[in-house]
Amino acid sequence: MIGNPLRSPDDLRLDRVAGPCAIVLFGVTGDLARKKLLPAIYDLANRGLLPPGFALVGFGRREWSDAEFTQVVREAVDAHARTPFDPDTWEQFCTGIRFVTGAFDETAAYERLAEVLAELERDRGTGGNTAFYLSIPPKTFQTVSTRLRDAGLAEAPENSWRRVVIEKPFGHDLESSQELGRAIDAVFPPEHVFRIDHYLGKETVQNLLALRFANVFYEPIWNAEHVDHVQITMAEDIGVAGRAGYYDGIGAARDVIQNHLLQLLALTAMDRPASLGADDLRAAKEQVLESVVLPDDLVETTARGQYLGGWQGGASVTGFLEEEGMAPHSTTETFAAITLGIDTPRWRGVPFYLRTGKRLAKRVTEIAIVFKKAADPLVAPEMLGNNALVIRVQPDEGVTTRFSSKVPGPGLQIRDVTMDFGYSHAFTEASPEAYERLILDVLLGEPPLFPGQREVELSWRILDPIEEAWSASGAPEPYHPGGWGPTSAERMLGRSGRAWRMP
Amino acid sequence: MIETLPDTTVSGISKRLVLLRAEGGATTLSRVLTLLIFSTAEGLEEAISAANFASREHPMRIIAIALPEGEDRPTWVGEVSRDARQRELGIGDVPASGLDAEIRVGRDAGAGEVIVLRPRGAVAVDPERLVSGLLLADAPVVVWWSDVWPSRTIDTPLGRLAQRRISDSGGFRDPAAHLTELASGYRAGDTDLAWSRVTLWRAQLAAALDNAPERRITGATVCGTPDSSSTMLLGAWLRLQLGVPVRLLDLPESAGIEWGIQSVTIHSDDADTVIERSRGTFAAITQPGHPRLEVPIPRRGRAQCLVEDLRLLQADQLFGRVLTAGVPLLLADQPEGER
């Protein structure tokens, strides 16, 4: 392709705008579509990042007309869009909204979808470029992708593209993830499959790369010589209400550790990638995941729990086993913590602790690098805490450094103080939502922020033995809502004289 | 909160700032840059409100300097003798030299803090000595001349100190003369708000050509009101990037367009690509082989332009090329007697 003379590399003002295209959204009535996807697509339009003839097609069982679906989109935008409503943007945006009624396995519906896409190509100039966003349960991936192929929709005509976007979970163990990968691969070539892990779209996570590799402060001490251990936490204060059916049998480890936390671990621990291109970045992450080793004793070095009912922050909450639709004897864990090692020269001997849970004290995600204490500090060592660097992923995105400082006054008393960088203080009032970034990347065909199939499989390889050990050891330990999980979580760190940070 | 400090000094202002910070907690931390605004007494509030808007994306310290009454051009930034400056400033008419100031924080300062300086008499002669003590430590300095024309800014110490110098040629009668003057003194780090005003047009034009990479382009026509430097910069950009003759068409003032660009046409062998104002903020895009589409291209206010400009603190090299190479080429394309 000949370059566009109006795009020059030193043009810093023109954003990369998606070329002509359409998004077909499966699962339009889901929570994710209403709260995140539809608003994010509108926000992209509002920021001028979608092409003039952009089209949005909803696909679902509802008997909706285009106008009714437009109303659904409008309600989602009004309730959840990040950017202020702009009547001009909306007027132009809503002319490209369509709805196709049909069940996921209904061949005729896919024929209607093909007609709608052809009409949009003619009247909106979408150029035949189409992204299929499957915001649907994984067990229906295969049905939908096969039907898309049978209707001739998966194959891109010349000079156009067809891409597919899938959401977690990518299987529930190594075997099922491989099966799923094969089913998708049979329809779409791997470079056109985008697996969304929305954590990777967050500014702070992307900033991790800048923090580590664009600065000189950190990389020299980012190793076993200086780092004592690493804690990666994702805590939620809510329960599973409404998702009981999905959650039972899955559990916190499969739901969160396998994807989000292991991705954060990979970005934290990886060596400098050769470039920020998708291949190099994936190679660097895969190298870390391949080097992960498990402790010999998988029971003492892990913890799992199940939240009880009771009072949490002034509200009465339901226990996990009493949630509506939950099997009363479910052994599914709502809290999971694991210990991992990384067998590379950089990290040998440094434990990585990963924990996640529901109904904990607050909603917070962070990566904490806890450093070794100074070897010869000139002051009484018992006054010293560990230096720490904390990357706050959400909420209040930013970085905190903790170090020791002299207390004012006579003598030499030492106390830990913090230095804080808040993203929202130094930069835009509101960073783009992770989904805005990721959807735009799909439309631009930029894969670096999307994990590949191999990363998914490597992550299951890490988690499968732990799940196996857990399934052999009975019910999870109950814990009270509003705290930091079961006592076994404290024990697993206490064994080595360490403790969880209070995020 | 607005605190007025009549007849004060820079160190008086600094002391108040430290106190206000101590009282207000950490509200004044994390400033990413210092923005110096030079404006007229009349234009100052509008400039400050645009800067306050921009401070929500770029938390900053804003230092707004009101040039003394009757001074619509800050000639003192050029090389004039001190005597001449003092004569021009009419120091004889001013009762006493001195400095009045205001500090605005909280609701009256967006997400930043504002220091308004109203120098009188001899104090106004050397703005560098006035503001040096108020600049943030270790943060970039941006100078914005709002409603005033910065003749020969580069030679001044302030011009050299600043990472970025923002002028605004929009609204001045003779865009060709103003752009030529900017070009003659151009230095990396200079920008002009008229350039930010055309970004949305440029985005649509670039997107239109994305769709037809192999089309052979033979020329272009830009039609706008004659007093718009944005029209001229857009033409100069097309001239430079496409390497084909670009014609500027003056839109008669009776055409109903208040100000700015009416249409852009890119000519090629087979057919034209046209983006033209259709109604309100909308423009229609027509190009061969594609349906006609309407897109909003809202007219950008100063605040939006400033936000965009502050987003890039490194030199805008493309603007430099458009200004120093594109504008002369464009002017040479126009028939004798029209420019």
Query: How far apart, in whole angstroms, are the C-alpha atoms of residue A239 and residue A335?
Result: 11
Q: How confident is the model at residue B21 (pLDDT cuts 50, 70, 90)?
A: confident
More confident residue, A276 or B85: A276
Give the number of other Cβ atoms within 10 Å of residue A103's Cβ. Answer: 13
Give the number of other Cβ atoms within 10 Å of residue B3's Cβ: 15
Q: What is the C-alpha to C-alpha distance for residues A134 and A157, in angstroms, rounded to an integer?
A: 21
Q: Contacts from B272-277 at CB under 8 Å and sequence distance 24+?
A: B273/B208, B273/B209, B273/B212, B275/B201, B275/B204, B275/B205, B275/B208
pTM of the model: 0.85
Give the mean pLDDT of A74-90.
93
Task: List, in sequence order, every residue forming a beta bridge with A406; answer none if it has no partner.
Answer: A414
Q: Which residues in chain A have their CB less than 8 angstroms from residue B217's CB? A: 5
Q: What separation in angstroms does the CA of A5 have from each of A8, A253, B207, B231, B243? A: 7, 50, 11, 19, 9
Both tokens of B165, joined, read: 């110098």
Residue type, A41: I
CB B319 within 8 A of CB B189: no
**Is A3's CB within 8 Å of B213's CB?**
yes
Contacts of A422 in chain B (CB under 8 A): 30
CB contacts, 8 Å: B200 with chain A: 48
Beta strands A335-342 and A352-357, pairing class = antiparallel
Per-residue pLDDT tens digits for A287-321: 999 999 999 999 999 999 999 988 888 888 889 99
Report the gap between the CA of B175 and the closest CA in chain A (Å): 22
Work out the minimum CA distance from B171 to partner chain A, whole angstroms. 22
User: Which has the closest alpha carbon to A140: A166, A101, A117?
Assistant: A166
Percent above pLDDT 90 for chain A: 60
Helix (H, G, I), strand (E, B) or coil at B267: strand
- Chain B residues with CB under 8 Å of A418 CB are none
Residue B98 has pLDDT above 80, yes or no: yes
Cα separation values, A295 from A292, A408, A487, B250, Å: 10, 44, 20, 77
Query: Above 50 in pLDDT, residue A437?
Result: yes
> In this complex, do B32 and A2 lie within 8 Å of one another by their Cβ atoms?
no
For residue B289, the model assigns a pLDDT of 82
**Could you say which residues from 112 to 171 on chain B have a Cβ atom under 8 Å away from some Cβ of chain A?**
none
At B32 the pLDDT is 80
Furthest C-alpha separation in chain B: 71
A435 Cα to chain B: minimum distance (Å): 21
Instruction: Choose from B32, B53, B210 for mutation: most chain A CBs within 10 A.
Output: B210
Query: Which backbone phi and psi does A375 adopt, to 5 degrees?
Result: -70, -35
Cβ of B200 within 8 Å of Cβ of A48? The answer is yes
Task: Say how many CA atoms lie within 13 Å of A321 toward its Cβ.
Answer: 13
pLDDT of residue A356: 96
- With CA atoms as reference, the chain B residue closest to A119 would be B291
Q: Per the CB < 8 Å rule, is A429 touching B242?
A: no
A3 neighbourhood in chain B, CB within 8 Å = 213
The pLDDT assigned to A355 comes to: 96
Q: B interface mutation test: which of A11, A13, A124 has the most B CBs within 10 A?
A: A13
Range 340-369 of A in CB contact (< 8 A) with B: none
Q: Which residue of B has its CA nearest to A2?
A: B213
A12, A92, A122, A396: best to mutate for the B interface, most B CBs within 10 A: A12
CA-nearest of B94, B103, B154 to B125 is B94
Question: What pLDDT, on a 0 to 100 scale, did the predictor assign at position B91?
Answer: 46
Dist CA A227 CA A221 (whole Å): 7
Residue B213 touches partner A, C-beta closer than 8 Å: yes
Interaxial angle between packed helices A262-269 and A278-291, expressed in degrees from 0 to 180 and rounded to the nearest 10: 100
**Would you state the structure tokens that stand for residue A361, as one six-digit string?**
């004290």
**Chain A hits for B241, Cβ within 8 Å:** 5-6, 8
B91 with B97: CB under 8 angstroms? yes
Confidence band of B11 (pLDDT split at 50, 70, 90): confident
- The tens digit of pLDDT for each residue in B305-320 reads 999 999 888 899 999 9
Smallest CA–CA separation between B204 and chain A, in Å? 8
Residue of A6, A124, A421 lying closest to B206 (CB–CB): A6
- A16 Cβ under 8 Å from any chain B Cβ: no
Q: To which H or E segment does residue A477 belong?
A: strand A477-479
Q: What is the pLDDT of residue B152?
A: 58
Q: Compute the nearest-CA separation of B32 from chain A (Å).
A: 6
Describe chain A by its helix, strand, coil percentages, rounded to 5: 35, 20, 40
CA–CA separation, A89 and A144 (whole Å): 32
Residue to mutate among B318, B322, B323, B324, with most A CBs inside 10 A, is B318
Most confident of A190-204, A275-289, B240-254: A275-289
- Is the CB of residue A430 less than 8 Å away from at least one CB of chain B? no
Question: How is chain B split among helix, strand and coil, in percent rounded to 5?
Answer: 40, 25, 35
Cα dist. B2→B32, B49, B103, B107, B108 in Å? 22, 14, 6, 9, 7
The pLDDT assigned to B19 comes to: 82
pLDDT recorded at residue A48? 87
Q: Has residue B112 got a pLDDT over 80?
A: no
A417 at interface of B, judged by CB pairs closer than 8 A: no
For position B254, what pLDDT does the model report?
A: 64
The answer to whether the Cβ–Cβ distance between A428 and B57 falls below 8 Å is yes
Q: Give me A107's structure tokens.
A: 């061949």
- Taking an 8 Å cut-off on Cβ atoms, the answer to whether A5 and B317 are in contact is no
Closest CB to B293 among A15, A48, A52: A52
Greater pLDDT, B82 or B34: B34
> CA-to-CA distance for B162 and B143, rounded, in angstroms?
6
- Closest by Cβ to B207, choosing from A17, A422, A428: A17
Mutate to test the interface with A, among B214, B282, B293, B307 (most CBs of A within 10 A): B293
pLDDT tens sequence across B203-220: 999 988 887 777 889 999
Q: Which residue of A has its CA nearest to B59?
A: A426
Question: Residue B81 pLDDT > 80, yes or no?
Answer: no
A48–B32 CB contact, under 8 Å: no
Q: Tell me the backbone φ, ψ of residue A91, rounded to 5 degrees.
A: -55, -40
Active site residues of A: 260
Quickly tell me which residue has 């191999």 as its tokens: A454
Point out which residues pair with A405 in neighbouring strands: A415
d(CA A311, CA A279): 48
Q: How far apart are CA B78 and CA B90, in angstroms?
A: 17
pLDDT at A201: 86
pLDDT at residue A38 tops 90: yes
Longest dimension (CA), chain A: 83
Please report residues of A whose CB lies closer than 8 A to that of B318.
8, 10-13
pLDDT tens digits along A389-420:
999 988 878 899 999 888 888 888 888 888 88
Provide the pLDDT for residue A427.
Answer: 67
Confidence of residue A90 (pLDDT cuts 50, 70, 90): very high
C-beta separation of A167 from A199 below 8 A: no
Give yes or no for residue B238 having a pLDDT over 90: yes
B290 contacts A6? CB cut-off 8 A: no
Residues from chain A that touch B298, judged by Cβ atoms under 8 A, are: 88
> CB distance A428–B242 less than 8 Å?
no
The percentage of residues in chain A with a pLDDT greater than 70, rounded to a whole number, is 98
| Contact at CB, A13 and B196, closer than 8 angstroms | yes
Residue A219 φ/ψ, nearest 5 degrees? -55, -40
**Residue B88 above 90 pLDDT?**
no
- A88 to B207: CB separation less than 8 angstroms, yes or no: no
Residue among A170, A142, A359, A133 nearest A250 (CA)? A170
* pLDDT band for position B24 (cuts 50, 70, 90): low
Query: With a CB-CB cutoff of 8 Å, which residues 257-276 of chain A face chain B?
Result: none
CB pairs under 8 A between A and B: 99
A12, A53, A422 ranked by CB distance to B312: nearest: A12
Q: Which residue has the higher pLDDT, B337 or A316?
A: A316
Looking at the complex, does the CB of residue B57 fall below 8 Å from at least one CB of chain A?
yes
